[in-house]
Amino acid sequence: MRMPCTRDGLTDTGRLKTRYYTAASLDGFIATRDHSLEWLFPLGDIADTSYPEFIRGVGALAMGASTYQWMLDHVVAGGAPWPYAQPAWVFTHRPLPAVPGAPIHFVQGDVRLVHAAMDAAAGGRSGWIVGGGDLVGQFHDAGLLDEIIVQVGSVTLGAGQPLLPRAIVSPPLVLTAVRHVGPGFAELHYTVPRAQPAGGRA
């Protein structure tokens, strides 16, 4: 069923607005080397962040195999239901178990094809790339990443899964908002500008 249309989920050109919403350590990692998020939970309550408002505006999700496996191991395996009513596309090169009744599609290959399917399913709401960082980088490379919202935690990990393993230098990201969330987080909102064509105006 298509969700009600809302302009906030669309870019100026009318396509799906795609956001990367995540948390990262101060030194730029979204998880430890073994994909653990245990460092994250003591830092604050997700209800105090922008997440409750954010998820209401999401109409479609994409995530990598490691992120999906973490959800299976730490949410579904504990007896909780799959947390998303929105259709989700999971990028994977290996067989993964489905969650009965959940609108999950297992895919691989070109993110542009999946983005088009997400756009058709989202009903005017936005798309959320849940993670990981390399998948987000693929959307960026295809010109399909519009915003980054990152809650920077007050810890360092030293190593782990990087926030976004891409060089984004010219043009740089545009910081649009900063929010202090208790003692544990600084929430940063960025837009991702499009590179100007050669000879174009900056």
pLDDT digits (tens, 9 = 90+) for 142-174: 999 999 999 999 999 999 999 999 999 999 999
pLDDT of residue 29: 98
Element (H, E) at 67: helix 65-71
User: In the structure, what pLDDT confidence band is assigned to residue 5 with cuts at 50, 70 and 90?
Assistant: very low
Instruction: Give the largest Cα separation in the chain, rounded.
Output: 57
pLDDT at 197 over 80: no
The identity of residue 111, as a single letter, is V
> pLDDT tens-digit profile of 35-84?
999 999 999 999 999 999 999 999 999 999 999 999 999 999 999 999 99
Domains observed in the chain: 7-191 (3.40.430.10)
Task: Judge contact between 180 and 186, C-beta under 8 A.
Answer: yes
Contact by Cβ (8 Å): 135, 129? yes
